Amino acid sequence: MIPAPPSGPFRAGDRVQLTGPKGRMNTVWLTPGEHFHSTHGSIAHDALIGAPDGSVAVSTTGYEFLALRPLLEDIILSMPRGAAIIYPKDAAQILAKADIRPGARVVEAGVGSGALSLWILRMLGGTGSLTSFERREEFAEVARGNVASVFGGEPENWQVAIGDLAEALPRECPDGTVDRVVLDMLAPWECLDAVSAALVPGGVLCCYVATVTQLSRVAEAIRATGRFTDPQADETMVRGWHVEGLAVRPDHRMVAHTGFLLTARLLAPGTTLPAKQQRGSKNPGTIDDVEAWTPSDDDRWSEDAVGAKQVSDKVLRKRSRQAQRAAEHAESQGVPSSNVESAPATDTMSDADPRVDEAEFIQGTAKQEAESNE
């Protein structure tokens, strides 16, 4: 089991989040003798070491910064990214809808930058297992570095497998040994045979897809197998509120669509799902309708076709180095795997505000993305 994260005064090596006068968040790792620099002056790390969590530090120019140990949400939104991450609003729904719990044996396909891996590993609490599959070694390296920078090393119950899920899953997970499968990939319908073989009866399949065409295609493919319950689909939108005195209103912008979640459960062998009674006014679609909406030609399904964001090899190599330096720094500090909130990472600064960055990143204008591409 993973103990509760540490509390109490800041210590050397702690990861600390400094929030400036305009709400901008900056992440630093406390090192004796070092200084945090910003346009509002500098703050000596020594002034923070020994201060209580939730204290206020004053810069050399008189500006006040709130100092807190960052939450896992804050860490994920500011960590180096290879592929696009699953944001907290969707990760929370995946944990709930897939019923990921301590002791579960979980498979994740499309590890990306390791954001969902961190949430799942936190939920497992050092029990069960998580096997993450990734086609590209470069993305896997970024994910390994990000996870190690948080946990102080790669957790013993986590394994990263390189390869196509349809081919690698039977090799890594014998039939009937997986409780939960989460697919974050371009064409999850291509892996349904391997997934249905690996899952235990009653196990949960959860697919995360970005477009309605992918949603329709995977839903119909799941139904066609005859092995799962009727798939359930939804999306989550988050709208913040401005609450100050009598000025109580919705925020002007919100985190709207990021992806769809589709869940289904595996039936026992030889079981036929009871027919669903349809209302008389509803006409079922035909095969031609499905083909027109979601073409069966696999060559037509590509990242460009569904509007997936591409990351250049140069940027990917840079982020991989950042993630690996973060992991090496965490391991050199001897951070135990329980120190999830305060595990040190690379000695750099990120000014991504999770309450702002999430919306801006979705729109393709996040400051972190611009800085990484310079």
Centre a 10 Å sphere on the Cβ of residue 186 and count the other Cβ atoms it contains.
17
Q: What does pLDDT average to over the chain?
A: 83
Which domains, and CATH codes, for the chain? 8-70 (3.10.330.20), 75-242+252-268+283-300 (3.40.50.150)
CA gap 17, 26 in Å, rounded: 6
pLDDT over 90 percentage in the chain: 62
In terms of C-beta density within 10 A (0-12 exposed, 13-18 middle, 19 or more buried), how is residue 193 classed?
middle
In terms of C-beta density within 10 A (0-12 exposed, 13-18 middle, 19 or more buried), how is residue 283 classed?
exposed
CA gap 191, 177 in Å, rounded: 16
Whole-model pTM?
0.78
Residue 316 pLDDT exceeds 80: no
Q: How confident is the model at residue 34 (pLDDT cuts 50, 70, 90)?
A: very high
Residue-wise pLDDT for 266-306, tens only, equals 999 999 988 877 765 566 666 666 666 677 766 666 766 66
Amino acid, single-letter form, for residue 99: D
CA gap 205, 192 in Å, rounded: 9
Predicted confidence at residue 7, as pLDDT, reads 80
